[in-house]
């Protein structure tokens, strides 16, 4: 039986629309009880259209950008203006709204790796309010890949980590930060994610082998292709 926290959408377009509305709602709910919402963004290609919808008042209603602080789950160790940088993708997706946020705490992937991680840690002392993650076909989240050394450093909040896909070095938040987030949403699209999604929800919990099991209780948004191996009865 498919867990109640997995929301299956017909296709990627429907998933993006659902994600944008859920994220907007979570941000508004957070701001009902506090002055600022700390919103951590996922990188990659899937979430960009959702960010564009969040910036579109006609799509999700007007958000109080001046009360939202932006953070990132990970960043590639590339130059600041490199097209592969997650913050470049986010800036382009949000458009003019990106300049309206209360703060944008980017990870400086162009810096020396250990120093960049140490500098970013100062923004992670307070738990993230709304966290968006994507899951890869190997069940990685942020840049926490299977077997990552980050699982051996329980006190760190950000680390430089090597990855099995280019670019090889990234700065990532650690499991400690991921699990401390108050509300988490995970996106998974495409048939290539189907086996990982099945393994995450049916195999014994082993977060080193399957990092996405860190967020089993999150709200998962998946398309029918990613959910194709799940028992939908």
Joined tokens for residue 90 = 């986010």
Joined tokens for residue 7 = 């929301």
The CATH code for residues 6-223 is 3.40.50.1360
- In this predicted structure, the answer to whether residue 24 has a pLDDT above a threshold of 90 is yes
Please enumerate in sequence order all residues whose Cβ is within 8 A of that of 99, keeping only pairs 6 or more positions apart, or say none: none
- In this predicted structure, the answer to whether residue 2 has a pLDDT above a threshold of 80 is no
Collapsing DSSP to helix, strand or coil, 56 comes out as coil
Output the pTM of the full model.
0.97
Joined tokens for residue 182 = 């108050």
Q: Where are the alpha helices (DSSP H) in the chain?
A: 12-31, 48-54, 57-60, 86-94, 113-121, 175-180, 194-202
Cis-peptide into 106, omega within 30 deg? no
Are 107 and 43 in contact by the 8 Å Cβ rule? The answer is no
Distance separating alpha carbons of residues 121 and 101, to the nearest angstrom: 20
At 90-130, the pLDDT tens digits run 999 999 999 999 999 999 999 999 999 999 999 999 999 99
Distance separating alpha carbons of residues 149 and 158, to the nearest angstrom: 12
Joined tokens for residue 122 = 């100062």
**pLDDT given at position 37:** 98
Distance separating alpha carbons of residues 132 and 47, to the nearest angstrom: 9
Q: Where along the chain do its domains lie? A: 6-223
Supply the mean pLDDT for the chain: 96
At 151-209, the pLDDT tens digits run 998 899 999 999 998 899 999 999 999 999 999 999 999 999 999 999 999 999 999 99
């Amino acid at each position: 039986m498919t867990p109640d926290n997995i929301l299956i959408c017909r296709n990627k377009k429907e998933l993006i629309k659902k994600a944008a509305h859920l994220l907007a709602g979570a941000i508004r709910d957070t701001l009902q009880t506090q002055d600022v919402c700390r919103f951590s963004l996922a990188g990659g290609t899937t979430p960009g259209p959702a960010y564009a919808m969040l910036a579109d008042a006609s799509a999700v209603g007007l958000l109080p950008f001046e009360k939202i602080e932006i953070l990132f789950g990970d960043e590639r160790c590339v130059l600041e203006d490199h097209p592969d940088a997650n913050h470049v993708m986010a800036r382009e997706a949000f458009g003019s709204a990106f300049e309206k946020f209360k703060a944008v705490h980017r990870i400086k992937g162009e810096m020396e790796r250990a120093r960049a991680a140490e500098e970013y840690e100062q923004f992670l002392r307070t738990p993230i309010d709304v966290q968006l993650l994507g899951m890869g076909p190997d069940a990685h989240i942020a840049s926490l890949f299977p077997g990552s050394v980050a699982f051996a450093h329980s006190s760190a909040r950000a680390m430089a980590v090597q990855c099995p896909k280019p670019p090889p070095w990234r700065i990532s938040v650690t499991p400690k930060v991921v699990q401390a987030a108050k509300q988490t949403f995970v996106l998974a699209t495409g048939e290539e994610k189907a086996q990982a999604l099945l393994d995450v929800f049916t195999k014994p919990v082993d977060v080193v082998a399957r990092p996405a099991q860190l967020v089993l209780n999150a709200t998962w948004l998946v398309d029918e292709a990613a959910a194709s191996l799940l028992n939908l009865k």
